[in-house]
Amino acid sequence: MSEQKIDNRLWSNTARNLSPYVPGEQPQHDNLCKLNTNENPFPPSPKVAEAISNTLADQADALRLYPAPESDELRTALADLYHLDNNQVFVGNGSDEVLALVFASFFLKERPVLTPDIGYSFYPVYAQTFGIELVQIALTEDFSIDPDTYRQPCSGIIIANPNAPTGLLLPLSAIRKLASEHSNSVIVIDEAYIDFAQADADSDESAVSAVSLINEFENILVTQTFSKSRSLAGLRVGMAFGNASLIEALTRMKNSFNSYPLDKLAQAGATASVLDVDYFTTTCQQVIDLRQSLIAKLTDLDYQVLPSQANFVFARPADGNASAVAEALHEQGIIVRYFDKPRVNEYLRITVGTAEQNERLISALTAMQA
């Protein structure tokens, strides 16, 4: 619906002033090389479909009755995975819903919320939705996050880690610093891509996820998703980990907005995914290997590629004309993500695909340089 034709006289001011998030396009036709929304190139664990089919098999009651209201089985599986208590785990309809509840629960205060100037572009939308002031802190020249630049009064801090669309990982030492220096604010680490990250060989810490810090810092909240590393974008499941008081706030906020839980099939499928640890570990490593190979090939083509720890790479063609490359690829049915924004408009964000998809991409880029 075009802007000028909308009759919005019955809308609330909040509705009138929204600028909704626009996700990457989701064309549904065949033979597309879809490298624009960071889906996993591998299917989910076969146990997922099996668990859903088993749930469905109880025709009479599977769907007729309301789902388990607290998603207990799923939350227990997640708690066990990370050696947490159930009351340190929250689940929702995708991590985007979880993040919306996070903004309302912790950032809706007098002081602003701080976030990097380059990051997940939904954060400013949430802030606008809830009327929260958002202050964007500039990344350094090399796109990294300097905790010292966050020293100002705030309701909280939210950082995607690895960051999007850069793919760079913030080390736990920096997160500890932020949490210590802002003990009265909630530090939200949005770990949509964390399962593709690996600790630096010469780092003191073997962990990369801030989940390892939540028993140490009561003000750290970590969000994750089943859409990337668990290949379940179609199932819409996200989660948060934090101390019991933070999880209680999220639960109350959720129950004041939509008191019902994830649907029964999503609960069953997500639980099966968490329990199949081997499949998860194997496919994550495969994606990491494919990423390193993609980075090497792009570098061979004179692309400047950031050292990604996610399942995508952020790459700049030698002439900086990323927009033209994206367009040329699109014409060949290869879709990558281009952000027409300052500082990142010379880069492409390219999802790590299967070996075949990556080859198709590299061939197309090679042909362009011929």
Give residues 299-328 in contact with a second copy (rule: CB under 8 A).
Answer: none
Give the residue with the Cβ less far from a second copy, 235 or 336.
235
Tell whether residue 87 is a contact of a second copy (CB under 8 A): yes
As a whole number of angstroms, the distance between CA 151 and CA 15 comes to 33
Tell whether residue 34 is a contact of a second copy (CB under 8 A): yes
| Binding characters for a second copy, 261-300, by CB under 8 A (x = yes) | xxxxxx--x-------------------------------
Residue 114 DSSP class: E
Give the residue with the Cβ less far from a second copy, 206 or 255.
255
- Among 86, 128, 321, 345, indicate the residue that binds a second copy (CB under 8 A): 128
- Among 4, 28, 31, 369, indicate the residue that binds a second copy (CB under 8 A): 28
Tell whether residue 79 is a contact of a second copy (CB under 8 A): no
Q: Which stretch binds a second copy (CB under 8 A): 162-170, 254-262, 292-300, 337-345?
A: 254-262
Tell whether residue 135 is a contact of a second copy (CB under 8 A): no
**CB under 8 Å, gap of 24 or more: what pairs does 7-16 form?**
14/129, 14/131
Give the residue with the Cβ less far from a second copy, 152 or 203.
152
- C-alpha count within 13 angstroms, C-beta hemisphere, residue 142: 8
Give residues 140-179 in contact with a second copy (rule: CB under 8 A).
Answer: 155
Q: Which two tokens stand for residue 53?
A: 């089919």
Tell whether residue 249 is a contact of a second copy (CB under 8 A): yes
Least distance to a second copy, CB of residue 300, Å: 29
Beta strands in the chain (DSSP E): 33-35, 89-92, 113-116, 134-137, 156-160, 186-190, 220-225, 238-241, 304-305, 312-316, 334-336, 348-351
Give the residue with the Cβ less far from a second copy, 10 or 370.
10
Q: Which stretch binds a second copy (CB under 8 A): 15-23, 314-322, 329-337, 357-365?
A: 15-23
Handedness of CA 293, 297, 299, 304 (dihedral sign): negative
Burial of residue 42 (number of CB atoms within 10 Å: 0-12, 13-18, 19+): middle
Nearest of 216, 198, 215 to residue 207 by alpha carbon: 198
Q: Which stretch binds a second copy (CB under 8 A): 202-210, 233-241, 287-295, 321-329?
A: 233-241
Q: Which stretch binds a second copy (CB under 8 A): 140-148, 248-256, 344-352, 357-365?
A: 248-256
Give residues 173-232 in contact with a second copy (rule: CB under 8 A).
Answer: 184-186, 218-219, 227, 231-232
Handedness of CA 158, 160, 162, 168 (dihedral sign): negative
> DSSP readout, 306-327?
----SSEEEEE-TT--HHHHHH
Least distance to a second copy, CB of residue 346, Å: 26
Nearest of 284, 299, 304 to residue 347 by alpha carbon: 304
- Among 63, 138, 207, 355, indicate the residue that binds a second copy (CB under 8 A): 63
How many residues make contact with a second copy (CB under 8 A)?
Answer: 95
Tell whether residue 3 is a contact of a second copy (CB under 8 A): no
Residues 6+ apart with CB under 8 A from 233: 37, 39, 40, 226, 227
Least distance to a second copy, CB of residue 146, Å: 24
**162 preceded by a cis bond (ω within 30 of 0):** yes
Give the residue with the Cβ less far from a second copy, 253 or 352.
253
Are 313 and 36 a contacting pair, CB within 8 Å?
Answer: no
